[in-house]
Amino acid sequence: MNKGKPVLYVKWEDSVRNCPNAQMGSPALFRKPDGTYGLVASENNTGSGIYLWDSPDLISFSNQRRVPVNGAGLEVEDPQIVYDEQLKGYRLFWKSRTGSSSFSSVSYDELHSFTLQVGFEYPAREINGFLPSNAKPDEAAVFEVTQAEYERVVSKYAPVRNTGIVPFEAIHLKAGEPLPLLMDRVKLFYSDGSSKDLGVDWSSDDILAINTYRAGSYTVRGTVVQSFFDYPFIEERADPFITFNADDGYYYATGSYFPESDPSVWTEFLMKDIDYDRITLRRAKTLADLRLAEEHDVWVPRGEDGFVPVLWAPEIHKINGEWYILTGAGQAEHGRQMCSTMVLVKYTSTLAEMRQGGMLNRNNWKPRALRNSPCGFDMTFAEINGTGYYIWPRDCKLHIQKADPADPGRLIGEPAVIKGIEWPFEYGRHNLHNTDQGIVEGAAVLQYGGKIYLSYAGATVDKYYCTAVMTADLHTDIMDPDSWTHPAYAALSTEDVLNVEGINPHCGPGHNSFVIDEYGNPINVYHARPVPEPHEGAGAGGLHDPCRHTMVRPVHIAKDGTLILNMTKEDELAPQHRDVVVTVNIV
């Protein structure tokens, strides 16, 4: 379930170092008399209380709280809860002293408190079946479900896989009639009831072999096209951003810049004075062709316009009909420094020149600082329901504010905080600085199927870096924090990219962007580090290590609207559906 990853964590309290027992121990589900459910867990089988959650459906869990169980300091181990109809209360069974003592307590106030414990022996339920390899059998619990409950949970958490395909109907022509264009995409169905269209690459030899003046039956073979690529897609481009420019029909790619480096001579000391010093663009007609497209320097500030490196996380946006690069930059009066303001670099030439490659010409870009810039890095822009918004990180929170419709360089109204640190996957564990560092940054927006998806990166920029996704309905107030559903687990993490058949291993997938491919499907663009790490010494794996490479991978929209970022190539397209045919009958 959920590909072996957690579906719920104990919420972030401080740090693993300061709160080592803020972890689930021996979690167990129980039923409530109103038909809903509860979840109980110990404090890592070490604390004297329990954690409780409520659930309406065994899928979503809310209202986490800690409830003391005893005042004697006894460790609460292996808690289980059962509602007792006779007592009209909840019985809590628990053990202590490494299981040598067993107790029972009762809650008569809807699980707000428990009576003084009494000795009580209760047998553990035998576990029959298979557990994930990383599960602890001695902390597992049994919960019997109905068929409907089982199907609901499986539908949510089982891997979504391709189960069917719509075959192409035969084409019937009279001799002499021209061959129509063949359908360039095919519909596929999935185990959760969702569907999507993928492209088809038809055999040109089979098409050329058709003689429309001669009666007969002809077979045209095709291959279903997937937007799956090997890692790395583009080397040494972190914080990647890809967009499609409908004005000239090209895809454009950019990202935080590193010069080419040789791992054998690399040092953090040398790199930190030369990296992040320019903005580059490349363009291509297809996503696949971006990989080897020529890269061009389009903005290389050295103080002449008031800006200097560091240049961080550039993005390309069309705002009020004009094209801009939105990036973090340093201010010239302070010399080279970590980016301190957001800059809009405007494309100033004509549409005609754009179509001839004008966006790749550094003479066609002019910068201006965002007025009263609220941050210096990782800002993004999105137009939603006709209104422009800027979204940025600060103090481990995501802020959102409206853009002035008359001047994209100005923010109007008051900002709102829509996301803060909540979960352990949003802070680093045993990171490079040997601290727990909470991070929520690198937001990206995807509008698709009546939903607004807001992704963000969490944890330190190492193997713990990951991507999570918030969701809002299209016509809600996106500046209202309550409009957003918050994830309880990461949508893409190292576990999803480390050992995937057919793709080079990598780790720490984060700081993503979204783009729509040639067939109308959303694509996830992120950076990740190679495994093993090729650099050694101080700073290896850090922000001045150039090996945060761009990766491109499909997104799937589940039946319930969930964004699936960790679908494998075989999950998206079953091997038996990779090859398709269409028959052309001429009479």
| φ, ψ (nearest 5 deg) of residue 281 | -135, 145
Q: Are 467 and 565 in contact (CB under 8 A)?
A: yes
Q: Is the peptide bond before 310 cis (omega within 30 degrees of 0)?
A: yes
| Domain layout of the chain by residue ranges | 2-157, 162-225+574-586, 237-554
The CATH code belonging to domain 237-554 is 2.115.10.20
Checking if the pLDDT of 263 tops 80, the result is: no
Considering the four listed CATH numbers 3.40.50, 2.160.20, 1.10.760, 2.60.40, the one that applies to the domain covering 162-225+574-586 is: 2.60.40
Distance CA 324, CA 309 (A): 18
Residue 314's pLDDT is what? 98
Q: What is the DSSP letter of 438?
A: B
Q: What does the buried/exposed string (b/e) look like for 540-557 if buried means 16 or more CB atoms within 10 Å of the residue's CB?
A: bbbbbbbbbbbbbbbbbb
Please compute Rg for the chain using Cα positions.
Answer: 28
Residues 6+ apart with CB under 8 A from 359: 245, 248, 252, 281, 283, 298, 323, 347
Structure-token match 């895809």, residue found: 251
Using the Cα atoms of residue 15, residue 21, residue 27 and residue 29 in order, give the sign of their dihedral: negative
pLDDT digits (tens, 9 = 90+) for 26-56: 999 999 999 999 999 999 999 999 999 999 9
pLDDT digits (tens, 9 = 90+) for 177-217: 999 999 999 999 999 999 999 999 999 999 999 999 999 99
Residue 123's pLDDT is what? 67
Mean pLDDT over residues 287-309, rounded?
A: 95
pLDDT digits (tens, 9 = 90+) for 390-433: 999 999 999 999 999 999 999 999 999 999 999 989 987 655 45
**412 pairs with which residues across the strands?**
402
pLDDT digits (tens, 9 = 90+) for 421-437: 999 899 876 554 555 67
Between residues 264 and 494, which one has the greater pLDDT?
494
Written as six digits, the tokens of 313 are 């996380």
